[in-house]
Structure 1
Amino acid sequence: MHRFKALILRRSVRIPNFLPHYRNLCSQSSAVVDNDSTENQVLVEGKASSRTAILNRPSALNALNTSMGARLKKLYESWEENSDIGFVVMKGSGRAFSAGGDIATLYRLINEGKMAECKEFFGTLYSFIYLLGTYLKPHVAILNGITMGGGAGVSIPGTFRVATDKTVFATPETQIGFHPDAGASFYLSHLPGYLGEYLALTGERFNGPEMIACGLATHYSLSARLPLLEERLGTLVTDDPSVIEASLEQYGDLAYPDKRSVIHSIETVDKCFAHDTVEEIIGALENEATRSYDEWCTSTLRKLKEASPLSLKVSLRSIREGRFQTLDQCLVREYRMSLQGISKQISSDFCEGVRAQLVDKDFAPKWDPPCLEKVTKDMVDNYFSPLSELEPDLELPIKLREAFT
């Protein structure tokens, strides 16, 4: 486990059903919230030797939009250049750190044919994630509350991640016909064993202790103690990660996964999710369920059969490729995949998934293709290709900022 934490951390200098959260995000992402100024959507607190970025769309569970991504990038670049700032903190307001990307707005833009704005959304968010992953100063993300999809993307690549008793982590994109993105193919693929495949395909949630156990989080603190932790961080005048870590540990708490947690069944996860294809994974789960009558196998099978068949195959390949790629390579590939996923050239599963879960709320998506057997190799291959010969890839400053593995 310690070895894994060393892998998931940046250089030394440096989760019930989730669909109700998506439904809340859609119903609460109102014009009033979206019309707020960019400055109000990302607040800034100045401390002795640090700055805190506060994601501030609480009624939308701090869902990330293009302007928030652009403001974060601008702020972080200026803070990195400021020698008076030793480290940076990020947190969310309300009951979420961030529920991920603003799916409701993305769905609207797609239906209005505003693909350029969709591309800008993904490009802006992924560029900030790369900045965070190569940041030259220590970074502390306080993951108090819902932390999903893009919310995990703008926190996990940083130096420290503090989970709490209120943290709910998930990458539930296959349930809406998409793929775990925003760097997920990088950090999920570096989890112990085949836990990343399990989380990516099922969209299952993890709580704070489970995040600590697998290395997604570096520290754990009860939410009631966060004011003390934040006050302590605010007094620090340092850019030394070891000093920051000591303060995090000072206000940390012991965290043990519940005895029913999948963390205690990692051998079964590995046995089932190590297979090369989704069909083989499902077959292994069915055999395990028949042999052991394990409720975990039954619930896992149910989640897989509810997800988009195309998304399952695409996501499995994405995680497998991420295991051998750097962060920048994962982000460039995910950018291609995301554009393909919203283009409707291969399938309309993303819009259909959002329609079924968020818009019409009939919770009965009609996936295309409708079953795994009809998902062809060409469909999956095309998902990883540019939209056209003229479509540029995501450009990241890899010559200026070193990528990491």
Structure 2
Amino acid sequence: MASNQPSDGVDPQVLIEEKSYVKIITMNRPRQLNALSANMVSQLLKSFIAYEEDANVKLVILKGKGRAFCAGGDVSAVANDVTNGHWKFGANFFRKEFTLNYILATYPKSQVSILNGIVMGGGAGVSIHGKFRVATENSVFAMPETALGLFPDIGASYFLSRLPGFFGEFVGLTGARLDGAEMLACGLATHFVSSSTLPLLEEALFKVDTSDPVVVNSIIEKFSQRVPLKQRSAFLRFNQKLFGGPTSKSKLKLAHFEWIVSTGASPKDQSKKFCMHLSEKAGCKVLISASSESSECAAMSCEEKSAKISLRALLVDKDKNPKWEPSKLELISNEMVDRYFTKVDDEEWEDLKLPRRPTPTISAMSKL
């Protein structure tokens, strides 16, 4: 049985199907690579809350239509709101999105995300926090926020800071792209399944009549496989030995430029991602603070402040020529960074307050 079907000739942005005790949610903006709109975030949040209370729902499957799972939040709309003086519209979008991320990170029922395509930014927020993340040979993961003048939000500081060997810090600060094998190796994905086998996996999952993660895991394991990393894999090259020790920050910078050389990108273009704007230092602060916290809650409340950082060059002007101010990393003071972590000076604004959850927090990086 399917719901959310169009009644006016316009395709809905979220499709929902029901198979016995299983709900299948499909993000349906393929031309926009399933970028999360305010409408989509609202529908997803409403659905997950409803399914949590529904005893007839044992499992939720989330996937995307087309060649992307979800390429992130529709932050170009947020940028336009900020440009037009309506910063609260964008801030409220992030507020609802972060609440959705937190709901998923503390969800009592099993959730399986089928990551058969692009998984970036906000797309990671609606998947990596879930219990099961199935990558394929088509998966492409990245956190590209620093290139946009932002820093990784959506609870990413929690799961990135818990990847092995400071690899998460590298991924978060450089926007490096990972394939499905790398996602599995570092723990962003829990399983790897060939895209040609996905229909069989889904058919098997449709028969689930329990929320027991052990049962769900055993089903996925029947279709999963171990895949070798490519010789030039970022995960192999930027390992714990490279990042370990007191000089890890300088080594991280060196590793970034090695990545540039390996991909053939121009250091002049790519260095903007890492060395020339405020979001790099702000991102460092978020990742460092989140690595010492015991729950997603602290990371989420910290990242809610990121809604105050505006962006233009890549999303609005599309000239890919951002004018960073200050223009150099060494010109950025700690006081300038701290400004983005202070309360909003507006009597009508309230900081994000995450809902009380009846279930214990479940780490996205926990093991079965």
TM-score (norm 1): 0.80
Residue 276 of structure 1, CA deviation: 6.9
Larger displacement relative to structure 2 (83-92 or 307-316): 307-316
Give the partner amino acid of 1:261.
S
Residue 269 of structure 1, CA deviation: 3.9
Give the partner amino acid of 1:324.
S
Please give the secondary structure, in 1, of the residue aligned with 2:25.
Answer: strand
Q: What percent of counterpart residues are identical?
A: 37
- Distance (whole Å) between structure 1 residues aligned to residue 303 and residue 117 of structure 2: 26
- Distance (whole Å) between structure 1 residues aligned to residue 186 and residue 62 of structure 2: 22
Q: Which residue of 2 aligns with 1:395?
A: 353
Q: Cα deviations across residues 346-397 of structure 1 (Å, max 9, x unaligned)?
A: xxxx22xxx2x24433322111111011111111111111222744221111
Please give the secondary structure, in 2, of the residue aligned with 1:51.
Answer: strand
TM alignment of 1:51-200, pairs within 5 A: 51-200=23-172
For the structure 1 residues 250 and 103, does the alpha-carbon distance in structure 2 shift closer, same or farther, using more than 3 Å as the test? same
- Distance (whole Å) between structure 1 residues aligned to residue 145 and residue 102 of structure 2: 21
Are 1:381 and 2:338 counterparts?
Answer: yes
Please give the secondary structure, in 1, of the residue aligned with 2:309.
Answer: helix
Give the partner amino acid of 1:327.
E
- Distance (whole Å) between structure 2 residues aligned to residue 315 and residue 207 of structure 1: 23
For the structure 1 residues 377 and 61, does the alpha-carbon distance in structure 2 shift closer, same or farther, using more than 3 Å as the test? same
Q: Which residue of 1 aligns with 2:4?
A: none
Are 1:341 and 2:309 counterparts?
Answer: yes
- Distance (whole Å) between structure 2 residues aligned to residue 141 and residue 56 of structure 1: 15
Larger displacement relative to structure 2 (198-207 or 104-113): 104-113
**Do the aligned residues in 2 keep the contact of 1:195 with 1:269 (CA within 8 Å)?**
no
- Distance (whole Å) between structure 1 residues aligned to residue 359 and residue 206 of structure 2: 28
Larger displacement relative to structure 2 (69-78 or 301-310): 301-310
Q: Any stretches of 5+ residues in structure 1 without a counterpart? A: 1-34, 343-349
Residue 145 of structure 1, CA deviation: 0.3
Residue 304 of structure 1, CA deviation: 6.0
Q: Which residue of 1 aligns with 2:212?
A: 240
Q: Cα deviations across residues 87-141 of structure 1 (Å, max 9, x unaligned)?
A: 1110000100000000221121112222221122001111111111111101100
For the structure 1 residues 237 and 282, does the alpha-carbon distance in structure 2 shift closer, same or farther, using more than 3 Å as the test? closer
TM-score (norm 2): 0.88
Please give the secondary structure, in 2, of the residue aligned with 1:194.
Answer: helix
- Distance (whole Å) between structure 2 residues aligned to residue 137 and residue 283 of structure 1: 40
**Do the aligned residues in 1 keep the contact of 2:79 with 2:316 (CA within 8 Å)?**
no
Are 1:331 and 2:331 counterparts?
Answer: no
Please give the secondary structure, in 2, of the residue aligned with 1:74.
Answer: helix
Residue 299 of structure 1, CA deviation: 6.3
Are 1:314 and 2:282 counterparts?
Answer: yes
Give the partner amino acid of 1:393.
D
Residue 171 of structure 1, CA deviation: 0.1
Residue 149 of structure 1, CA deviation: 0.3
**Do the aligned residues in 2 keep the contact of 1:201 with 1:304 (CA within 8 Å)?**
no
Cα-Cα RMSD = 2.6
Please give the secondary structure, in 1, of the residue aligned with 2:164.
Answer: coil
Larger displacement relative to structure 2 (311-320 or 166-175): 311-320
Please give the secondary structure, in 2, of the residue aligned with 1:105.
Answer: helix
Q: Which residue of 1 aligns with 2:3?
A: none
User: Greater helix share, 1 or 2?
Assistant: 1
**Do the aligned residues in 1 keep the contact of 2:79 with 2:315 (CA within 8 Å)?**
no
Give the partner amino acid of 1:388.
D
For the structure 1 residues 314 and 281, does the alpha-carbon distance in structure 2 shift closer, same or farther, using more than 3 Å as the test? farther
**Do the aligned residues in 1 keep the contact of 2:277 with 2:329 (CA within 8 Å)?**
yes
Larger displacement relative to structure 2 (134-143 or 243-252): 243-252
Please give the secondary structure, in 2, of the residue aligned with 1:40.
Answer: coil
For the structure 1 residues 192 and 298, does the alpha-carbon distance in structure 2 shift closer, same or farther, using more than 3 Å as the test? farther
**Do the aligned residues in 1 keep the contact of 2:164 with 2:240 (CA within 8 Å)?**
no
Q: Cα deviations across residues 45-89 of structure 1 (Å, max 9, x unaligned)?
A: 101111011111111000001221111111111111111111111
- Distance (whole Å) between structure 2 residues aligned to residue 295 and residue 276 of structure 1: 20
Residue 243 of structure 1, CA deviation: 1.4
**Do the aligned residues in 1 keep the contact of 2:281 with 2:337 (CA within 8 Å)?**
yes
Q: Any stretches of 5+ residues in structure 2 without a counterpart? A: 1-7, 364-368
Give the partner amino acid of 2:343.
P
Give the partner amino acid of 2:338.
D
Larger displacement relative to structure 2 (234-243 or 152-161): 234-243
Q: Which residue of 2 aligns with 1:14?
A: none
For the structure 1 residues 140 and 369, does the alpha-carbon distance in structure 2 shift closer, same or farther, using more than 3 Å as the test? same
**Do the aligned residues in 2 keep the contact of 1:129 with 1:154 (CA within 8 Å)?**
yes
Aligned length: 351
Q: Which residue of 2 aligns with 1:17?
A: none
Q: Cα deviations across residues 30-56 of structure 1 (Å, max 9, x unaligned)?
A: xxxxx997x811110101111011111
**Do the aligned residues in 1 keep the contact of 2:166 with 2:240 (CA within 8 Å)?**
no
For the structure 1 residues 36 and 176, does the alpha-carbon distance in structure 2 shift closer, same or farther, using more than 3 Å as the test? farther
Residue 233 of structure 1, CA deviation: 0.8
- Distance (whole Å) between structure 2 residues aligned to residue 303 and residue 211 of structure 1: 26
For the structure 1 residues 199 and 193, does the alpha-carbon distance in structure 2 shift closer, same or farther, using more than 3 Å as the test? same
Q: Cα deviations across residues 185-208 of structure 1 (Å, max 9, x unaligned)?
A: 111001001101100111000000
Are 1:305 and 2:271 counterparts?
Answer: yes
Q: Which residue of 1 aligns with 2:366?
A: none
Q: Which residue of 1 aligns with 2:200?
A: 228
**Do the aligned residues in 2 keep the contact of 1:97 with 1:145 (CA within 8 Å)?**
yes
Within the candidate set 267, 270, 277, 2:243 is matched to: 270
For the structure 1 residues 47 and 300, does the alpha-carbon distance in structure 2 shift closer, same or farther, using more than 3 Å as the test? farther
Give the partner amino acid of 2:39.
S
Residue 296 of structure 1, CA deviation: 4.7
